[in-house]
Amino acid sequence: MNGTTTGRQAIVTGGGSGIGAALCRALVAAGDHVVVADLDEAAAVRTAQSVTGPGSARALRLDVTDAAAVQAAVDDVVSRAGRLDLMFNNAGISIGGETEELTLAHWDAIIDVNIRGVVHGVAAAYPQMVRQGAAGEWGGHIVNTASMGGLMAAGLLTSYVMTKHAVVGLSLALRSEAAAKGVGVTAVCPSAVDTPILDKGAVGRFHGRDYFLKGQGVRRPHDPDVLAQEVLRAVHDDRGLLVTPRTARATWFFGRLAPVTTQRMSVRFVAKQRALQAARADTH
């Protein structure tokens, strides 16, 4: 069984905006009951109040860097509903810029949210799902939001790439362990998605939309609502990796087939980015 029935109990971290909000919309539309968890409580409330469908949503202020708070969120769902079916470790931040311009505070912040935040979600949800699976039921499914940056590497985004590689590694390793216990694990690896993260986390001359869109020749970022539907299908199919859209899959396959050429292309990409940043600075 892979959780095909509706009425599942879910937690979505980072549910106040972007991919997280889209996941909440898709889950409620599918009949699931969702805790919209976000550090920005007002954003979580807006998402919870805006979703429509046969399911339900309630908002929760949650700092994913607080392990005890994440555990409490899971325990609360279990105490109310008797189980937790879906854990979406989606909260994340991005920091872009020349690596020598990053401070230790930058590194600490992105590690705390993007790695420890996911670890806290796994540590809280996975044992509960294992217990559910041991009872002969569907154990549940953990979805960790990574990135194409977790499968490939490009400069000017070193801290982000590092954390997303960690998320992919955690997800695939856990998946091989969890399969026999009735628990599924999926790592979501999209290319640029149309979310507020494109406009945040800039250090120095870095500009997210130039980097993720113009620099890569992408006309339109991926629609978060389309991504959310793809994620739910990946859960239904119990897929380990979701790499999307099609152009991202093609890039990933090429990178695996020709790693040396891909690295050379990455060096040229960084040079092009620096030129774009310089031109942007000259016009402002």
Give the model's confidence band at 214: pLDDT under 50 very low, under 70 low, under 90 confident, else very high: low
The domains of the chain, with CATH numbers, are 9-278 (3.40.50.720)
Are 63 and 41 spatial neighbours (Cβ–Cβ below 8 Å)?
no
Supply 12's token pair.
Answer: 């979505």
Between 283 and 273, the higher pLDDT residue: 273
Q: What's the mean per-residue pLDDT of the chain?
A: 92
How would you classify the pairing of strands 183-190 and 241-244?
parallel
List pLDDT tens digits, range 64-77: 999 999 999 999 99
Between 203 and 94, the higher pLDDT residue: 94
CA distance 59 to 192: 27
Element (H, E) at 20: helix 18-29
Is pLDDT at 229 greater than 90 in this prediction? yes
Give the phi and the psi of residue 84 in degrees, each rounded to 5.
-125, 125
Give the model's confidence band at 282: pLDDT under 50 very low, under 70 low, under 90 confident, else very high: confident
According to the model, what pLDDT value does residue 130 have?
Answer: 98
Is pLDDT at 26 greater than 90 in this prediction? yes
Average pLDDT over residues 171-191: 97
How would you classify the pairing of strands 140-145 and 86-89?
parallel
Average pLDDT over residues 209-236: 84
According to the model, what pLDDT value does residue 6 have?
Answer: 64
CA distance 223 to 237: 21
Element (H, E) at 184: strand 183-190
According to the model, what pLDDT value does residue 2 have?
Answer: 52
Supply 242's token pair.
Answer: 């979701």
Is pLDDT at 209 greater than 90 in this prediction? no
According to the model, what pLDDT value does residue 221 have?
Answer: 86
Catalytic residues: 160
List pLDDT tens digits, range 34-62: 999 999 999 999 999 999 999 999 999 99
Is pLDDT at 163 greater than 90 in this prediction? yes
Is pLDDT at 220 greater than 80 in this prediction? yes
